[in-house]
Structure 1
Amino acid sequence: MKITNVEFVISAVKPHQYPEDALPEFALAGRSNVGKSSLINKMIMRKGLARTSSQPGKTQQLNYYRVNDSVYLVDFPGYGYARVSKAQRQQFGEMIETFLSDRKPLKMVLLIIDIRHEPSKDDCLMYDWLKHYEIPVCVVTTKADKIPKSKWDKHVKAIKQALGFRGGDRHVLFSSETGLGREALWDIINEQIEVTSEEAEETEEVSIENRG
């Protein structure tokens, strides 16, 4: 996908701060320091727009990035970092649950997991949460460049088994270093936008027929 325009829009905490232009949104969820910011920078081909940090737990809001004036990438706070206070974790959890359960422009969540490690308890809870709310999910296994190519299938299989990966969900193998998976992930995002647009049109047609 050719990137022509990218803009950091807002770090939001409350629903009234979310953008109101109804562009499709794709949220990135994952444990602290899993590489969400690096993935965003590779996806948008900008080195430093999404700030990366060696300090886990730095992202504490929903960070909105508008791409080509047509879609938002929304970076969630990382979860599972021990030094974040219990009160902060609860606050983050409530913020994300509110977003997931009530955010109409949300089209899919990209669940980011380091391919070198099995999913954490929080990863599994997030996946189950998404299934509960019937939110489309794509599991993105990052840092593929960190292990030999011959081990990719074995690691991906273990991750899917630990999550209880359901049929119909998507998976992309990704590397922010090499760009592996970038185009595949953009293809999935664009496909999801098309599918949800068609579903919305069909719903509107049914509604008009019923009113008639």
Structure 2
Amino acid sequence: MAKAQGNLERQHIPGAMLIQAKIGLGPEALVERYVAGLMCQNDASEPCGFCHACSLIASDSHPDVHFVEPEKDKKNLSVEQIRQANKWALESSQFGGYRLIILPQAERMNVSAANALLKTLEEPPSNCVFILMTEHAQRLLPTIRSRCEVWHLSAPSQAQSVDWVSAQLGKRISLRIAYLCQSEPLAIKSFVEQGRERS
């Protein structure tokens, strides 16, 4: 999160970002916070929580923030979906700020979709940010990876994960559970919340 906030404070906003992390590390939370900070109308580095943009972000209805995910019952992102994303990238922002296009499962683009995205990333529109998220960066075209600022979310130590989950749940979590969950904080939290430590 420190890097994300630092980028916002310095107004270093890349046209494309690749967030590489295991789902259990909570990359969605990082992206949500970054998006809220970027779109906030009152603060340059973190969401104020009170402005109109922050309210729209909180209700998942900001007109300049678009999520591109596989359609129901489909495994892959289609070329039509990416073409629609490319159209959004060229539109004017409704708030006069940034337009954000987020691909939470970027590795699910088929070849045609990946090539369509690549054309846009080669000459990214101004004030538009593509945020690609994946556990499997190697499945993305090398040319797409090379056009993104890459953020690797590394796993915290076992002790850090246990401390965080213990604080979140208000009870001490055993190191054994952390080991079973590969020290991924969200995986540990989910494991405990589901009562699986008693099984």
Which TM-score band applies after superposition, normalised by the shorter structure?
Answer: 0.3 to 0.5
**Greater RCO, 1 or 2 (C-alpha within 8 Å, sep 6+):** 2
Whose helix proportion is higher, 1 or 2? 2
Question: If you compute each CA radius of gyration, which structure gives the higher value, 1 or 2?
Answer: 2
State TM-score, norm by structure 2: 0.33
Whose strand proportion is higher, 1 or 2? 1
